[in-house]
Structure 1
Amino acid sequence: MQFKALAIPLCVMSLVLSGCADKYVEPDQYSGFLKDYSKLKEEKSPSGAAVMRWIDPKVDAGGYTSVYVEPSQLYPKSQPTAKIPQKTLNGITQYYDQTLKNAFSSALPLASGPGPNVLVVRPAITAASAETKGLRPYEVIPIALVAAGVSAATGIRDQDTSLATEAAFLDGTDNRLVAEVVRKGAGADLDDSAQVLQASDFKAVLDIWARDMVKSYEQLKNK
């Protein structure tokens, strides 16, 4: 009995100490939105976040005189749930569109469509989720583990939210791929499993993504 009583806490402890959220989107999590994932490499964004990215070494970033931001997509086709309703998914893409346009307009005039010397930004939201928070180090006490387990089972533990994006950057003249990026980020924490996700829970991470895209463009242009 003593062995069984110790086995569960030790097992959970090992998960706590060894498990942590992956910084990069793993290949088996790619959505299929991008045409070619084979060129992606682990990089750091201008804000220091982990991203999978590829930039055509021959691209002339300074040759673009305007930018066209395509409407953000939900890819694959959205599957709304009680936790993440369609209204939230629509709100996320609408905000993504607006923050991308706001960010890029500081670097280039906005175009109404593809064309010569136009950089085309094609973004997609590829995942949105909410998961019960993992155990914190101070909870690796057997008594606390029991309490934490009960809390998780009854849905009263805090929940982490996350969002993933894939984006392609195309030459507006010939639709040639010049860059692509895959990344994920954390949204706002939810109080419990009953709380419904809102688009506003992801505004901060969407703002960061947009700023990073523009800074990456500006860095490439100034090389």
Structure 2
Amino acid sequence: MSRFNGTLVGVIFSSLLLGACTSQVTEKEQYSGFLPDYSKLQEATSPSGHPVMRWIDPSFQPRTYSTVVFDSLLFYPAPKPDERVNRKTLQDLQQYASDSARETIALRYKVVPNRQSIPAGQRAMQMRAAITGVSASNEGMKWYEVVPIAAVVGATGAAAGYRDQNTELYIEAAINDAATGKPLAYVVRKVFGKTLENNKEEITADDFKQAIKEVNSDLSIMLNR
């Protein structure tokens, strides 16, 4: 093989490996169907510096509302516990994420569990949110693993369960005007928790607590703009 051809093969090989790196946002094929419309979503950067897929109505003025209808995060679709993500982990995640979101919203708005509880004369928006997935995947190839021999070693390690794994939490949320049902904002977010040492280590709610705090910090900024 000529030097040119060898270089070309190397470039193609490197590109394939780099293309396999973990995506920082939820891919279209991972959308759950929880939101009524995904067509308007665009990639953006959250105030905490994380990439998200979102759409916000240009006319949305959060401060013109005084009440938020929110009860808790749902699971959509129904979760299927397994040996790595057990039922208690799912329940703890739901409870922690819901309590954190409610506390964040309550710093600025009155929070009620349903539309029937909206105080008379108050303008309200409704937030529906769901955990749409909890998983762990092998970390993307590092730049130094693009060297063919290192990539082979890396692939072998991953197959044997030795590669570090990213913990991933998928969240989708919609905010509507509670009176008219008008969509105000859609957000689809892939949240990264702690890194696990291998594909045998269990995922726990604690792995995501810091990341959930960042999500709620971003929510607070959006609702107070």
Superposition TM-score tier, normalisation by shorter sequence: 0.7 to 0.9
The answer to whether the 8 A contact 1:41-1:54 is kept is yes
Alignment of 1:18-29 (within 5 A): 18-29=19-30
Among candidates 204, 211, 215, match of residue 209 of structure 1? 215
**1:153 CA displacement:** 2.2
2:64 paired residue number: 63
Judging changes above 3 Å, is the alpha-carbon distance between structure 1 residues 144 and 168 closer, same or farther for their aligned structure 2 residues?
same
Deviation at 1:122, TM superposition (A): 0.9
Out of 147, 150, 155, which is 1:149 matched to?
155
May I ask how many residue pairs the two structures share in their alignment? 212
| Structure-1 separation of matches of 2:22 and 2:75 | 23
Question: How much has 1:52 moved relative to structure 2?
Answer: 1.7
The Cα shift of 1:12 comes to 6.3
Deviates more, 1:15-24 or 1:123-132: 15-24
Residues 53 and 188, structure 2, Cα contact 8 Å, conserved in 1: yes
Stretch of structure 1 that moved more, 189-198 or 21-30: 21-30
Shift in alpha-carbon separation, 1:216–1:60, aligned structure 2, 3 A: closer
**Do the aligned partners of residues 146 and 99 (structure 1) sit closer, same or farther apart at CA in structure 2, a change above 3 Å counting?**
same
2:50 alignment partner in structure 1: 49
TM-score by length of 1: 0.84
Partner Cα separation in structure 2 for residue 139 and residue 39 of structure 1: 37
CA shift in 2, pair 1:190/1:216, >3 Å = same
Alignment of 1:91-130 (within 5 A): 91-114=92-115, 115=118, 116-130=122-136
Is the Cα contact below 8 Å between 2:18 and 2:141 reproduced in 1? no
- Deviating more after overlay: 163-172 vs 43-52: 43-52
Instruction: Name the aligned partner's letter for residue 223 of structure 2.
Output: Y
Q: Please give the per-residue CA displacement for 1:6-58, whole angstroms capped at 9, x wherever unaligned.
A: 9xx96864433343222332222211101111222222222222222122233
**CA–CA separation in structure 1 for the residues paired with 2:24 and 2:134:** 15
Find the counterpart in structure 2 of residue 82 from structure 1.
83
Looking at structure 1, the residues matched to 60 and 147 of structure 2 have their Cα atoms a distance apart, in angstroms, of 55
The DSSP-based 3-state class of the residue aligned with 1:180 is strand
Change (3 A) 1:141 1:55: closer
Amino acid at match of 1:96: A
Aligned to 1:17: 18
Unaligned runs of 5+ in 2: 1-5
Comparing 194-203 with 113-122, which one deviates more in the overlay?
Answer: 113-122
Structure 2 Cα separation of the partners of residues 164 and 22 of structure 1: 12
- Taking the aligned partners of 2:186 and 2:18, their CA distance within structure 1 comes to 34
1:41, 1:52 within 8 Å by CA — same for their partners in 2? yes
What RMSD in Å do the two structures reach over aligned CA positions?
2.3
Candidates 154, 158, 164, aligned match of 2:170:
164
Question: In structure 2, how many angstroms separate the alpha carbons of the residues matched to 1:143 and 1:52?
Answer: 36
Residue of structure 1 in register with 2:3 after alignment: none
1:53-98 CA-partner distances (Å, limit 9, x unpaired): 1222333422211223221111111122211112212211111101
* Unpaired runs of at least 5, structure 1: 1-5
Task: Give the match's secondary structure for 1:20.
Answer: coil
Q: Name the SS of the counterpart of 2:167 in structure 1.
A: strand
Task: Give the % identical residues.
Answer: 36
